[in-house]
Structure 1
Amino acid sequence: MEDDYDYGFCSDDEEFDDRVDEDEGAQSFAEVDGDCQFSLSNGGCCKVIRKESLLAAQKGDVQRVMNFLSVKEHHARTLLIHYRWDVDKVCTVFVEKGKEQLYAEAGVLAIEGGNISSSHCSTERTCLICFDEFHADKMTTMDCGHCFCDECWTEHFIVKTNEGQSRRITCMADKCYTICDEGSIRNLLSARDPQLAQKFDRVLLESYIEDNKSVQWCPSVPHCGNAIRADKDEICEVECACGLQFCFGCSSEAHSPCSCKMWESWTRKCSDESETVNWMQVNTKFCPKCHKPVEKNGGCNLVYCVCKQAFCWLCGGATGTKHTWTSIEGHECGRYSEKQVKETESARNSLWRYTHYYQRYKAHMDSLKAEKNGREELQKKISALESRKLESKYYFWVSEASSRLTRSRQILCNSYPFAYYMFGDELFQMTSDERTINQNLFENQQQQLETNVERLSMALEDPFDEYDDEDVLEARLKAVNLGSTVDVLCKKLYECIENELLEGVGADKQAIHKIAPYNSNGVEKASEIGI
């Protein structure tokens, strides 16, 4: 494996990669006096919604719509459920189409000058569902004005709730699509079955997460019970309060600079047996007698299966056991098949290409796991420095550099599946010259990052806890400088992808393959939402 990698290591006396701009890399030394402030704090655009704060989060959005449109709570909730809890969308439709159209599309009928929702009928009437006579106290009228007996309404609500349609239960009247008042639904269900009423309330509450494009359940296994709200439209990666980092767009593990589509294709490719089958197609032929795969281990095209059957490697046909320089006994296959040769060569090249990228992806993934497992050893080094009662700046940099290493290693690891799809024919079409130029541009950036990530990893493996004070300071300067250099190179890699590579693939594909932007502070940690 060592021959496959050339990280360009240099000795401690050599300068760090001079291809990094001097003004960008120089900040590392300015940060030294500020106690290494390349920490992984966050800006707070993502919020953790716990079970106890879910109701508060939902009520916050409901209240915004109530205030904006001057409507009752259940009407505001109905509007938000229809527009998938997008408050801005509700406001936009109101401004562009007007109040009447906004309500009509959502199935809301708000009566001006006094709402008759959930009131009882004024006189004794016949229920047009069961055709029995009922006193006014036993019948209920919805916003639309349709009045039926409480028994029929209750049965209607029970059926809809059990069918999972309790988010938007419409009126029973023919061709009436008005959403029923949730207060009436709750009261009637409670009178019949309190557990059903609780289920109805739970579904309304959980719709804030399941129908809301701005909110996702944390994909942790076992589930931590948290949801995350992202207050921005772009693709992003976030860390839940439980510690899991994931992509908000597809709920997979954090995978930038791969797009969600690239990552889905890559994980599927790595998990199935397609490449094993591909290798067998390239390197084996099936015996015409027992049908077992046979691998050719010599130059002669007369091969033998373990079942003793002889066959021709060129065409796979059964033959005799004798042959001359020009023919095999009892067999002729001199017709050249250019199609078969091209298919075999194409399959072989495809396999080699996949193997190249997968081996490097796997090598960095193994390094990432090893570095995470080595955090306990790093903590011991920090404790050793603390026991010497040195200033905090003598050991604070260790955990900061470790966090920077983890983030940059993950980016480097995922850059290989990105390159596999970016410069292949599966997702993007380029001319040969375009592919060569773009690939060289990307691989130059990737190689620089790879070199300095390895340097940072080696710096953290040094026994700096055993150094004297002066050497500890030197080790600190080296790690801080490397951390800053790696940060600059990660930025440049993302700029190369966003401004050079994806910029030229067309607007449609660019939209499909949007990637989470690089954040020097690492994957954003979601902050707690207020209750």
Structure 2
Amino acid sequence: MADDYGYGSSDDEFCDRVCDDYDDVGFQEPEDETEFSGFNGEASSCKVIRKESLLAAQKDDLQRVMDLLSLKEHHARTLLIHYRWDADKVFMVFVEKGKEQLYAEAGVSVVETNNLSSSNVSSKISCEICFEEFPANKTTTMDCGHCFCNECWTEHFIVKINEGQSRRITCMAHKCYSICNEENIRNLVSARDPQLAEKFDRFLLESYIEDNKKVKWCPSVPHCGNAVRVEDDEYCEVECACGLQFCFSCSSEAHSPCSCLMWELWVRKCKDESETVNWITVNTKYCPKCHKPVDKNGGCNLVRCICGQPFCWLCGRPTGTQHNWNGIANHECGRYKEERVQETELARKALWRYTHYFNRYKAHMDSLKAEEKLKEKLRHKMDALESRELETKDCSWVSNGFYRLTRSRHILLYSYPFAYFMFGEELFKNEMSKQEQTIKQNLFEDQQQQLETNIERLSMSLEEPFADYPEDKVLEIRMKIINLSAVTDNLCRKLYDCIDNELLGPLQQATHIIAPYRSNGVERASELSGSFSAKTGNILVAETGANIGSLC
């Protein structure tokens, strides 16, 4: 083990191995050595998009569909809204099912009809909604061919917009599911209520975020007004321009290597005080009359609830209040019942197991918070080192070491909720035999323990007062921190590989996909200038303002 990580080697071999590890993991000097900004080795593919850029992103997807299918913009928008703004899905359905089926499923009607509103104004048309006759220029025909008076259309559109259904307003005709032309909706509604027409436009723009599985609002509180778009994998962790890191799949805090379901269950378990209920189950009995939990504070097995009901502590059945020489008068429960003993023992084990994982989760959470204070101390140490006449002025190893410490601590923190559910009976009870579970648990815990050991070594090394050391000692601690940083990064990667290939992989659990490991951490958003193409960039951030109305 020592040879793998560089400990116990000669000085020359040690330095060579450290330098190789340092280069392999892509460590780069921060642009500003006094800032603990992680690694800046490559340009960020996260972009902050302003109002115009968001509109351009939407237009780009629309144009792709319009060009391929020779459609008008409102028809292309209807298709994309139906398929959650997934242009690739539109193309796939088009190839597999054909144009007619594609249009039918999305409610698109492309019918060449004469617009009756442009006909002879003297002609009269009967509206089948209000049963009155109107001049042709007072009626509107939708793409599906159905024609009604403008007043009925307007009332229909106003109701749908106020109900929040403006993204897919269908025709009023019986059993017609065609989506109405958005231009007709806009013109008719704006004639009566311009503000409601603006609301309709906002809903259409909002659909690019609300209906797009690759675009989500940043879950910051208070809301920063940003949205995040990913191009490829929705199972990832992203950092918004406001600084919040979150899981793109479930919008919770970044929680890998926990899956979204595991994290949801863990949060629920911690919040609903379920273990308090477990403690009550183990240490109390329920009154047979009022069903409230009762704790026994004496040695006698005849207990009395606050409601006045006496009952036997051993079996829980109601009794009288009298004793005899053998026990409670007119009551016997001395026969052994295996199931009650087993239930109590299982409840105790479940409580102990939860306590084991929760205490370690909480301990690393506290360590992570405490290490935030270390950040300022390290900055002072870096300033002190830079002020000295040392041969090596570069102090980026300090900031890089601190970043690796917090990044790895974060991963170790969430590995405990993962282990709780991975090796428990809540999720995978029938997926593994007891022997398989034991083997996998030992494998995981070995790697988890190695990671934990090296994280603590790295933390202790950063705590050392190396700013006051002589130069040879500074170089020694420098090499030690660089080496520990590389080793810790490698162990994090191995832990993720173990989860993917050895634990979750063989189970083929689609509901337990975890975000991949990123050595340089969650990708940050940067400013986007100029126009936007949907094919460029991996993650796009749209700054829309706290109110969606600011987009329009």
TM-score normalised by L of structure 2:
0.83
The alignment status of 1:340 with 2:336, answered yes or no, reads no
- The 1:287–1:389 alpha-carbon spacing in structure 2 relative to 1, beyond 3 Å, is farther
Match runs of 1:458-469 below 5 Å: 458-469=460-471
- The 1:316–1:296 alpha-carbon spacing in structure 2 relative to 1, beyond 3 Å, is farther
* 2: CA distance, partners of 1:118 / 1:441: 74
* 1: CA distance, partners of 2:496 / 2:265: 21
- The 1:85–1:273 alpha-carbon spacing in structure 2 relative to 1, beyond 3 Å, is same
* 2: CA distance, partners of 1:116 / 1:157: 22
**Matching residue of 2:514:** 515
Match runs of 1:2-401 below 5 Å: 15=8, 27-30=20-23, 39=39, 44=44, 46-51=46-51, 53-111=53-111, 120-123=118-121, 124-128=123-127, 129-285=129-285, 293-295=294-296, 302=301, 313-316=313-316, 327-328=326-327, 330=329, 332-388=332-388, 394-401=394-401
Q: Determine helix, strand or coil for the equivalent of 1:371.
A: helix
**Matching residue of 1:408:** 408
Question: How far has the Cα of 1:473 moved from its partner?
Answer: 2.8
* 1: CA distance, partners of 2:160 / 2:126: 20
Question: How far has the Cα of 1:31 moved from its partner?
Answer: 7.1
Q: Determine helix, strand or coil for the equivalent of 1:471.
A: helix
Stretch of structure 1 that moved more, 414-423 or 475-484: 475-484
Is the 8 Å Cα contact of residues 32 and 480 (structure 1) preserved in structure 2? no
Question: How far has the Cα of 1:456 moved from its partner?
Answer: 1.2
Q: Determine helix, strand or coil for the equivalent of 1:167.
A: helix
* 2: CA distance, partners of 1:381 / 1:108: 66
Question: How far has the Cα of 1:391 moved from its partner?
Answer: 8.1
Between the two proteins, the alignment pairs up a number of residues equal to 508
Question: How far has the Cα of 1:339 moved from its partner?
Answer: 0.7
* 1: CA distance, partners of 2:304 / 2:282: 17
Q: Determine helix, strand or coil for the equivalent of 2:167.
A: coil
- The 1:42–1:431 alpha-carbon spacing in structure 2 relative to 1, beyond 3 Å, is farther
- The 1:161–1:312 alpha-carbon spacing in structure 2 relative to 1, beyond 3 Å, is closer
Is the 8 Å Cα contact of residues 116 and 139 (structure 2) preserved in structure 1? no
* 2: CA distance, partners of 1:522 / 1:496: 19
Q: One-letter code of the match for 1:294?
A: D
Give % identity.
64
- The 1:152–1:143 alpha-carbon spacing in structure 2 relative to 1, beyond 3 Å, is same
Unaligned 5+ segments in structure 2 are: 31-37, 532-552
* 2: CA distance, partners of 1:409 / 1:224: 27
Residues 416-447 of structure 1: CA deviation (Å, up to 9, x unaligned): 11111111111002222111111100000000
Residues 101-124 of structure 1: CA deviation (Å, up to 9, x unaligned): 222221222246xx8679634552
Residues 492-522 of structure 1: CA deviation (Å, up to 9, x unaligned): 11111110111232x3xx1111111111111
Question: How far has the Cα of 1:527 moved from its partner?
Answer: 4.2
* 2: CA distance, partners of 1:131 / 1:182: 25
Residues 31-78 of structure 1: CA deviation (Å, up to 9, x unaligned): 799755882556756554555532222112112212222222111111
* 2: CA distance, partners of 1:238 / 1:433: 38
What RMSD over aligned residues (CA atoms) do the two structures have, in Å? 3.4
- The 1:437–1:164 alpha-carbon spacing in structure 2 relative to 1, beyond 3 Å, is same
- The 1:23–1:353 alpha-carbon spacing in structure 2 relative to 1, beyond 3 Å, is farther
Question: How far has the Cα of 1:193 moved from its partner?
Answer: 0.9
* 2: CA distance, partners of 1:310 / 1:201: 69
* 2: CA distance, partners of 1:180 / 1:228: 30
**Larger RCO (alpha carbons 8 Å, 6+ apart):** 2
Question: How far has the Cα of 1:197 moved from its partner?
Answer: 0.7
Q: One-letter code of the match for 2:233?
A: D
Is the 8 Å Cα contact of residues 361 and 413 (structure 1) preserved in structure 2? yes
Q: One-letter code of the match for 1:214?
A: K
**Matching residue of 2:473:** 471
Q: Determine helix, strand or coil for the equivalent of 1:84.
A: coil
Is the 8 Å Cα contact of residues 80 and 87 (structure 2) preserved in structure 1? yes
- The 1:236–1:170 alpha-carbon spacing in structure 2 relative to 1, beyond 3 Å, is same
- The 1:122–1:181 alpha-carbon spacing in structure 2 relative to 1, beyond 3 Å, is farther
Stretch of structure 1 that moved more, 129-138 or 474-483: 129-138
